[in-house]
Structure 1
């Protein structure tokens, strides 16, 4: 850490890299561009590793995944114009998923603004609705100030993305600036009165339920909430694509409140007389299109805990709104005492049994490749700390319903429903945790949004295992299409490459799997290959969901 009051000089490009080093940046994901060459030059001598990506959307998604895993801003650098607009997909993921991220974008010289210069873009207008803060650096002397503010903005309250534009002339400008100290995240805590109020409401409840979601969770917060749940015999659910926030085999775990929710869990949410919502927003997907809770005044007593004050009361009027981070709130739970007798005794065990039955069902689907058997093999052979990633599509249902997440930082999936996310996230996951197994699930349509980032995995020697679930279509859209317009297929059929051959062209291990019994041996060979690996699973197009075939959906 730099000494207080220490000053140094350099070009704008060098000052940006030094500021990132001082604030604690761990890695940069980028696609290069001539618009920010001084920054690339400064990275040559920096302590920060650089991952060269193939497309800006993939780079931004890797940065988002890094932010999810670390709680620190994932750093992404892209060039101006089309580079920036390509990166918007990852910025949107970070905004919807409440992930800290900073996108640095090359920009035209300040003297050319307003002339529609080559690749000129007004980034405030382009990113204004999906970033927490968008600004253009106009003075090299203010670079440390603006990057420190970017860190604070991206990580405080409800985390999210920040976009900083870097004009070419500012990057070449020389300035003398003060050094920065390492970034310290801001934690907010509940008051004693709020915790006393929570205890009073819990003592008056008959059917309480907790739902965990959002970001900013730590191992300590997760463990503290588990102890609280045990003391109160409280059923605990997790929000959409946040299953890793509570051990899925803990006796208090009730399941995930997401797409394809267990009907018994949905009923439990509706019938609860007290909902303790910690970290999440209960947005469209977990709320079942805003049907589980009345708006603006839920029928259940609502205790809503969120790090962003602006989210409290935004959709739901809480009976007890608490502006606190998961860390701050869960630490305070240690002082909350359970009643002498819990009227809901046995509810947690019942909810967990319902979850085990729901996630333990193994439906048979059309075709030789039974995904239930694939999931069974993975459940029996993956270590507890394995990281599973996915993008968007019906194929992800197999992971969300049938995999049991046991630890924090084992799930990387976009609540925004962004296709193409799984592969970039897997690369970032393997780079962050090289000792852990990282398995990416991707549908054939989803994968082809960012397939080029398999080259990034190979270049970085990030030995992920990519499981491609190929049914020759955009499956989710086809499912909706067949339900709304039976038999009228339009723009959802895919003519796919030989994914295994494509992976081998990158120098990776690859196999095609057409029967479930062949999956386990193929996975073991992928593990042993010493390279990134791809397993191409050929799924019958009729196997559109775990519970209904395409023909059944078409027939209504």
Structure 2
């Protein structure tokens, strides 16, 4: 494929007043779609796009690993209505970014991953770093597109942005051959493609209205990444007015605030037994923005009787990932559903008041902070949370990846607003630091705490360099028990006294934080926890990231 265009002394195409390179048009199209930030690891395969970013209003955040860049973009997609943007190079770069793509797929997060590719003319000759984007990504992305015709650059970007947010949100991959993006094309941009938001039909409204009127123990479950602050607040107000309870999908806490009298706890791995029992006890479940999947139903075992009533509100007509009965599906994005829901003024039943009050009391008991009095032994996460939580502002955010250390965040962290908890619902490790960096850059001045395990931290801990470079100020808590704790727990259950492949020997993470230019403190004794929390919070207030390396009690050594 060959396009003709004027060239400069170096033989490269030059722009006329009405033309630009395809790479620059890609950047302009992202700007027109409201993109504020792109997370990149540079590569020679997409130099023209990087050149387009040079004078763009888009902030270019240079990351230290493609996995970190992809995680940051995925976290960005959770916090806003515009898809998160990551850019990586071909072959190894694309492979490293795949972990963030899988997270976006299972978490239903709008994200666009741009991947530089080998030149068009070199294709199918096993050129340096050649791979097939469609073969690699098609099973874990909503769409995989390759820009083979330069003049379609703006159209392809518009299609990618549309696909990422339409229906059930998710990731889209766009391949950019390095020679194609240098061609000069008309500078006109493709318009945004409008996204259908659905809504309740008359039949939907009446079906839900009747089901609620008949129910004595209804329960709403909220989740997903397709909300707005306004929709979350309206939803919470309606629930509170009607004394109706709501539980959070695993790692989706905050849409209904932690302090709301309607919030009755999280439903997911490690959930308290009263919340677990709710799924079978309730006579009506209403899922908003999510579906009853593997984690909620405890491996497709709970709530499987088709005589039980389940209403599912989602923009995915295919109900991908659903388990158990479906009484009625309402095809709508959460905000639009809530817009219609708040017009439903129902008489409050005494049974609703008693039901919600009972479960709320259980949640308050579960979330009550432990004693703040330090013990005389090794450092404890309970003591840290007891000192940290009272110091947090109402809009504080928490992020984390996967592991037993996350249980403290689920239980104690006061999430008060949509996207105040960012995590990887696919159980992906290494998410904590990148997501905290993205959150801190998205909301400068806001308190962002991330809780990492020692096994998870080193998977992307190098992104603290990115935090230092761009002024992100998260507080990082590393709980160090010198093992992959979750796997050790499973091992002890299934293969007692045969611990294998889970033990770790760690460096001093506090010194590592200092080497990256932040504040770091190592804590071994519980008595030193309060002072460490104070010092770390003071450091973030002064404009630095901070890290607390908490050496907690070790379990019995490997047998």
**Same structural fold, with TM-score higher than 0.5 when normalized by the shorter chain:** yes
Unpaired segments ≥5 residues, structure 2: 1-16
C-alpha distance after superposition, 1:342-361 (max 9, x if no partner): 43331111100011112227
> Are 1:534 and 2:547 an aligned pair?
yes
Quick one: distance in 2 between partners of 1:366 and 1:81? 52
Matched, 1:403 2:416: no
CA distance in 2, matches of 1:211, 1:192: 23
Distance in 2 separating the partners of 1:299 and 1:515: 54
Tell me which residue corresponds to 1:354: 362
Structure 1: give runs of 5+ residues left out of the alignment. Answer: 1-6, 543-549
Distance 2:360 2:461 in 1: 38
CA distance in 1, matches of 2:463, 2:63: 7
Partner of residue 244, structure 1: 254
Q: Secondary structure at the match of 1:452?
A: helix
Partner Cα distance (2:396, 2:306) in 1: 38
Name the SS for the 1:275 alignment partner: strand
What is the aligned counterpart of 2:424 among 414, 423, 426? 414
* Counterpart-to-counterpart distance in 1, 2:508 and 2:348: 63
| Comparing 31-40 and 171-180, the one that deviates more | 171-180
- Distance in 2 separating the partners of 1:318 and 1:95: 23
Q: Please name the residue that 1:303 is paired with.
A: 311
Distance in 2, Cα, partners of 1:233 & 1:507:
49
CA contact (8 A) 1:133 1:162 kept: yes
2:51 equivalent to 1:41: yes
The 1:319–1:285 alpha-carbon spacing in structure 2 relative to 1, beyond 3 Å, is same
Whether 2:181 is the aligned partner of 1:171: answer yes
Moved more, 131-140 or 222-231: 222-231
Quote the Cα distance in structure 2 between the aligned partners of 1:89 and 1:315: 25
Please report the RMSD computed on the Cα atoms of aligned residues, expressed in angstroms. 2.0
Query: Which range moved further: 212-221 or 63-72?
Result: 212-221
The aligned residue for residue 194 of structure 1 is: 204
Cα deviation, 1:174-202, whole Å, max 9, x if unaligned, reads 11142244565542211122111111111
Report the TM-score when normalising by structure 2. Answer: 0.93
Within the alignment, does 1:336 sit opposite 2:370 as a pair? no
Distance in structure 2 (CA, Å) of the matches to 1:197 and 1:64? 36
> 1:30: how far off?
0.2
Bigger Cα displacement from structure 2, 510-519 vs 319-328: 510-519
Deviations 1:105-144 (A, max 9, x none): 0101112111111111101010111110001100110011
Contact 1:312 1:321 in 2 (8 A): no
SS across alignment from 1:310: coil
CA contact (8 A) 1:199 1:337 kept: no
The equivalent residue for 2:11 is: none
Q: Distance in 2 between matches of 1:300 and 1:192?
A: 23
Using the TM superposition, name which of 385-394 and 358-367 deviates more: 358-367
Kept in 2, the 8 Å contact 1:196–1:336? The answer is no
Matches within 5 A, 1:148-547: 148-181=158-191, 185-294=195-304, 298-311=306-319, 314-339=322-347, 341-360=349-368, 362=370, 367-529=377-539, 530-542=543-555
Question: Are the aligned partners of 1:306 and 1:312 in contact in 2 as well (CA < 8 Å)?
Answer: no
CA distance in 1, matches of 2:240, 2:190: 43
Helix, strand or coil: the match of 2:455? helix
Q: Is the 8 A contact 2:243 2:348 kept in 1?
A: no
Deviations 1:31-75 (A, max 9, x none): 000111111111111111100000000000000010000121101
Residue-by-residue CA offset, 1:257-308 (whole Å, 9 max, x unaligned): 01111111211211111111111122111221122210xx544211111121
Greater Cα shift, 61-70 or 264-273: 264-273
Aligned length: 538
Contact 2:468 2:544 in 1 (8 A): yes
Shift of 1:416: 0.7
User: Aligned equivalents of 2:186 and 2:256: distance in 1?
Assistant: 48
| Contact 1:389/1:422, CA 8 A, preserved across alignment | yes
- Provide the rounded CA distance (Å) in 2 between the counterparts of 1:366 and 1:353: 32
1:526: Cα distance to partner? 2.2
For 1:320 and 1:366, locate their aligned partners in 2 and report how far apart those are by CA, in whole Å.
56
Kept after mapping to 1: 8 A contact 2:369/2:386: no
Offset of 1:524 from its aligned partner? 2.3
Distance 2:70 2:484 in 1: 23
**Do 1:124 and 1:134's aligned partners in 2 also have CA atoms closer than 8 Å?**
yes
